[in-house]
């Protein structure tokens, strides 16, 4: 259960992943408004993210540090910590891989809708089949292992210098993934649970 709660925290997820040697985007968590502003000004193109959340809700991209500062100031009024992440240039898509019992059982590309940078299916993104390469598969497997999750949805960006772990979801939606790949994910999860009970 602790692993599920850990995965809900985006920043803690990235810390654990980075500690395990998994590449992650440059990310800063701070309660200091001037420090967050300096980071946004230095990086240029950033995403403000809530520490907790899913489906892309609350994540906002800024290429103007002053506009980002206004949003940060509002978050501070709401007593929220400031999680600033360098925006990753990617080919209009990212990857959702689903790991069960140390195996990637299904994966899909998530394409952002026209005019948007968000690839989340809940935000209008579109899924398409994806055959993971060895490097991408390794990121997915190591991420689930680092968070000690028997099953997880792992989001990966194809960055200019290689794959980067974006998030790990212990309670990921998989309706679109099943539709795109034809894999019965609940059956795979139940099968994994039965295996563990039999041990």
Q: Are 92 and 126 in contact (CB under 8 A)?
A: no
pLDDT tens-digit series, residues 151-177: 999 999 999 999 999 999 998 889 999
Which domain range does residue 192 map to? 89-198
pLDDT tens-digit series, residues 112-155: 999 999 999 988 999 999 999 899 999 999 999 999 999 999 99
CATH number of domain containing 98: 3.30.470.20
Residue 3 resides in a domain: no
pLDDT tens-digit series, residues 73-119: 998 888 889 999 999 999 999 999 999 999 999 999 999 999 999 99
Tell me, yes or no, whether 64 and 140 share the same domain: no
Tell me, yes or no, whether 170 and 145 share the same domain: yes
The mean pLDDT of the chain is: 93
Number of domains observed in the structure of the chain? 2
Calpha distance 199→194 (Å, rounded)? 9
CATH number of domain containing 80: 3.30.1490.20
Where residue 53 falls among pLDDT bands split at 50, 70, 90? confident
Query: In this predicted structure, what is the pLDDT of residue 54?
Result: 74
Calpha distance 52→54 (Å, rounded)? 7
Residue 80 resides in a domain: yes
Percent of the chain's residues with pLDDT above 70: 98
């Amino acid at each position: 259960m602790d692993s599920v709660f850990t995965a809900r925290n985006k920043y803690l997820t990235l810390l654990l992943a980075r500690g395990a040697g998994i590449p992650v985007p440059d990310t800063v968590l701070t309660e200091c408004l001037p420090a967050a502003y300096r980071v946004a000004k230095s990086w240029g193109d950033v995403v403000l993210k809530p520490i907790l959340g899913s489906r892309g809700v609350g994540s906002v991209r800024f290429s103007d540090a002053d506009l980002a500062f206004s949003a940060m100031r509002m978050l501070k009024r709401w007593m929220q910590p400031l999680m600033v992440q360098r925006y990753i240039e990617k080919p209009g898509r990212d990857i959702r891989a689903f790991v069960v019992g140390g195996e990637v059982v299904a994966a899909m590309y998530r394409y952002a809708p026209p005019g948007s940078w968000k690839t989340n299916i809940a935000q209008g993104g579109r899924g398409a089949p994806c055959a993971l390469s060895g490097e991408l598969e390794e990121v997915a497997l190591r991420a689930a292992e680092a968070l000690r999750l028997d099953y997880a949805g792992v989001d990966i960006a194809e960055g200019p210098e290689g794959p980067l772990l974006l998030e790990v979801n212990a309670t990921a939606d998989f309706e679109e993934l099943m539709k795109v790949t034809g894999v019965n994910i609940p059956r795979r999860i139940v099968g994994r649970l039965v295996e563990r009970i039999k041990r």
